Amino acid sequence: MSAGWHGRRVLIATSSYPFHRADFRARFVHDMAVGLVDSGADVRVVTPSTAAAGVPARERWQGVDIHRHAYPGVAWPATRLTGGDGMWQRLRARPARAIVAPGLIAAMASALRSALRERSADVVIGHWLLPTAVALRTALLASGGPKPRALYVGHGSDVHLLRRLPGARVLLRALEATGTVCSTSPYLTDQLRLAGGRRIAWTPLGVAPPAVGPEASRRQPRVGGSLVLGVLGRLVPGKGVERALAVVAALPKASLLIAGDGGGRAEIEATIHSRALSARCLGPVVGADKESFFAEIDLLLYLADPRPPGAFQDNLPVGVVEALMRGIPVVATAVGELPSLLARGGGIVVPPNAAAIAGRIASLGQADWVALATEAVEAVAHHKMAAALDRLAAASRGAA
């Protein structure tokens, strides 16, 4: 996998992590932890718990030791920050939950101090600058002895939130004084520099490889026939699933498979039923179910609402990278890193107009499909797990 991690002890702190083995949320964090294990690292994850029944406080999963800790408010739905559609969606739905954030940070810092006392680490990786990086820095400053190399990784919503804080520049400088601030895309690097960051390392997300190669897993798209379009991710407002439904309604020979879950699923299913659309919700897909989903679709749609520069928006959806890695073209709106990524090939960027999107898809000929599929895999070569972990290893040694 990646030679840069063999024999190293790694502690991962993360505010989001799968709560069970069929959970698709923040799956990429677990996949990268497994990649580190496969590269010869000894990996422990510390993450907040949820009140869901049957979720163990400690477990070992695919070679990763996972420690889940409680925090004030976790037992009450009105104040719980973890679980469901994710921390930021839960805060948007009920801003009063922010009152729990200081207790969450304190509990995470305490759990990290305990983990460092139990077993020293060579490298600590904090996923999400808020709240994780704050908790991790607090734990490191309170811990005695030699300090491990710290990597603070920004992913998207945390960076946008950080930019709005009056003390953003001070916080970034404090993090830079104790470790390396990392971004998962050049787009986020720019956002962090605008917030006052000086030394930002680009560390792409590592994506688990497909179970089979792209050539073996893909069939030829049925140009002029019944195209199968796909949507993958959290089914929440702003992700553009309603726009995808409008696109399939404008393409009489197309159908749509929707993989994922979230608070908007019931409304999406009601729309499909009321309009008799050729679309189907599959629910969450992981492992073999995800591979079956990718093998079925000809094209992945990511049609989130475009936002003004600097506004809250997605950075780089993992599902887009996974599709491209399998040679599946992507049609996306201009959100976050997507315009730059798809400029390398493998997809097209479209305006947020369903009729225009349908027309663009209908205009693609066989040569277009072949070119897009050929370009797709190369466009995300830096997201292959080994390449991404090499980059992370370089950052851990101050070389990125």
Output the CA angle 70-137-67, nearest 5 degrees.
Answer: 30
Residues 6 or more apart whose CB falls under 8 angstroms from that of 252 comprise: none
SS3 content of the chain, % helix, strand, coil (to 5): 45, 15, 40
Backbone torsions φ then ψ of 190, nearest 5 degrees: -60, -40
Query: How large a percentage of the chain has pLDDT more than 90?
Result: 71
> Residue 165, Cβ neighbours under 10 Å: how many?
12
Residue with tokens 């989130």: 304
Q: What is the mean pLDDT of the chain?
A: 91
Give the pLDDT band (50/70/90) at residue 220: low
User: Residue 85 corresponds to which tokens in the numbers above?
Assistant: 């559609």
Q: Write the CA distances from 94 to 79, 87, 91, 98, integer angstroms.
A: 9, 11, 5, 8
Give yes or no for residue 271 having a pLDDT over 80: yes
Q: What is the mean pLDDT of residues 359-370?
A: 92
What pLDDT score was predicted for residue 53?
A: 61
Cα 294 to chain centroid distance, Å, stands at: 18
Q: What is the mean pLDDT of residues 371-392?
A: 95
What pLDDT score was predicted for residue 309?
A: 72
Interatomic CA distance for residues 355 and 350, integer angstroms: 11
Domains of the chain: residue spans and CATH: 3-208+384-396 (3.40.50.2000), 214-382 (3.40.50.2000)
Give yes or no for residue 84 having a pLDDT over 90: no
What pLDDT score was predicted for residue 219?
A: 53
What pLDDT score was predicted for residue 109?
A: 97
Interatomic CA distance for residues 311 and 156, integer angstroms: 11
User: Residue 160 corresponds to which tokens in the numbers above?
Assistant: 């946008």
Give 125-175 pLDDT, tens digit per residue.
999 999 999 999 999 999 877 889 999 999 988 998 898 889 999 999 999
* Greatest mean pLDDT among 22-26, 35-39, 302-306, 364-368: 35-39
What pLDDT score was predicted for residue 217?
A: 45
What pLDDT score was predicted for residue 216?
A: 41
Interatomic CA distance for residues 328 and 317, integer angstroms: 15
Give 40-72 pLDDT, tens digit per residue.
999 999 999 876 667 788 999 999 999 999 998
- Give the DSSP letter of residue 1: -
What pLDDT score was predicted for residue 238?
A: 84
Give yes or no for residue 74 having a pLDDT over 70: yes
Q: What is the mean pLDDT of residues 26-51?
A: 94
Please state which of the ranges 54-63, 304-313, 342-351 shows the lowest mean pLDDT: 304-313
Please state which of the ranges 41-50, 84-93, 249-258, 260-269 shows the lowest mean pLDDT: 84-93
User: Residue 124 corresponds to which tokens in the numbers above?
Assistant: 């600590």
Interatomic CA distance for residues 380 and 23, integer angstroms: 24
Greater pLDDT, 77 or 234: 234
